[in-house]
Amino acid sequence: MTSLLDQLRTLSVVDADTLDVAVAEKFGPFSDCTCNQAIAYGELSKLGPDGKLFNEQLILDSIKTAHWMFSKQSDATLEELAVELMTVALSLRFAPYLTGTFHVQTNPKFAFSTKKTAKNAERIYAHFKQLSPGFDTSRVSIKIPSTYEGLQACRELEAKGINTLATTVFCMEQVVMAVDAGCKYMSPYVNELRVHFDPDFIDEKKAFEVCGEAQRYVEARGANLKLLPASVTTIQEVMELAGAHHLTLAPAMLTELAATPADSYVAAATVGRIFKAPPPLDAQAVKAVKAAEAAVHDEGTWRLLFNRSGKKGRKERRRASWCRR
């Protein structure tokens, strides 16, 4: 049986949005692995058959290393170091199941500070070498919220040879800045993150169009950047996005796609809809992109364009997403 997951893999690179090795064993190998603080917390909170924390030893080892590191530097709190080390340790367990990149996110509380975000990213990058001296750090990408400050941190990090992923992207102003900053990856969010925490919430303003416009813009510019749409909630959404450079999927979505025969999929006509025969950009959209390009080195103008972009309520959605991540 050819499943929807099989079909999707012929159209996009499928990545794992999880730190659960059992998922990697079942559905891998994958190219990349993406994670955030919520994913790491969920994995660290899992209980084993004996009722004890499944990753208890990893947690204890990380705390021990954090104490040692804390005694030698003061850029982070002991707790921040411990959480970063735990997340990197969980990521490294995925190494046998990945052929590509490990995407680890900075602390979202630093989203509005370029300096703190850059320092946090450099620490995470260094943790990979600390925990696995022979690890190829060119396979590490740091996920950074796409605030103005976050995108400037991406620019600084890329200049130092550290790969970045601009995450929580909702508008073309962010896309243009991420390309100019040299980011290697970018994640437009199809749904507001609230959909993953509030079972009664339905996002009525899905950002499909931004995904399509972003990938076309990246390719037209010849940028060395891969689009990685995120925050999808249904197989319908996933299959409409088939054709994206990468798609990162949570365990439940991977399971559902693998269990659905491709030849029985009732919405087969919509597969790849977002990237098929796109309508031409109207004059207003072209003007907006050109204005964003002209403002990438003008903070005041870029912020003004950014705050005016998109539909009513998008600004609030962005801020909520940065705070949740």
What's at 152, amino acid-wise?
A: Q
The CATH code of the domain that includes 75 is 3.20.20.70
pLDDT of residue 282: 73
What's at 128, amino acid-wise?
A: F
Whether the upstream peptide bond of residue 188 has omega within 30° of 0, thus cis, is no
Q: Where are the beta strands (DSSP E) in the chain?
A: 13-16, 33-34, 102-105, 140-145, 163-169, 185-188, 226-227, 246-249
Edge-first strand order for the sheet with 33-34 is 226-227, 185-188, 163-169, 140-145, 102-105, 33-34, 13-16, 246-249
Number of structural domains found in the chain = 1
Q: Are 154 and 183 in contact (CB under 8 A)?
A: yes
Rounded to whole angstroms, the maximal C-alpha distance in the chain is 63
Per-residue model confidence as pLDDT tens digits over 71-108: 887 689 999 999 999 999 999 999 999 999 999 999 99
- Quick one: pLDDT band at residue 148, thresholds 50, 70, 90? very high
How far are the Cα atoms of 249, 257, 261, 272 from residue 265, in angstroms, in the given order? 19, 10, 7, 13
How far are the Cα atoms of 49, 84, 293 from residue 52, in angstroms, in the given order? 7, 22, 53
Host domain of residue 69: 4-324
Per-residue model confidence as pLDDT tens digits over 18-63: 999 999 999 999 999 999 999 999 999 999 999 999 999 999 999 9
Phi and psi dihedrals of 42, rounded to 5? -60, -40
- Label residue 148 exposed, middle or buried (CB < 10 Å: 0-12, 13-18, 19+): middle
Phi and psi dihedrals of 165, rounded to 5? -125, 120
Phi and psi dihedrals of 134, rounded to 5? -90, 5
**Distance of alpha carbon 311 from alpha carbon 324, whole angstroms:** 21
pLDDT of residue 203: 79
Q: Taking the complete model, does pTM exceed 0.85, yes or no? A: yes
Q: Which two tokens stand for residue 180?
A: 């100019």
Residues with Cβ within 8 Å of residue 317, at least 6 apart in sequence = 170, 192, 205
- Quick one: pLDDT band at residue 67, thresholds 50, 70, 90? very high
pLDDT of residue 310: 66
Cβ neighbours of 41 (radius 10 Å)? 12
DSSP-assigned beta bridge partners for residue 246: 13
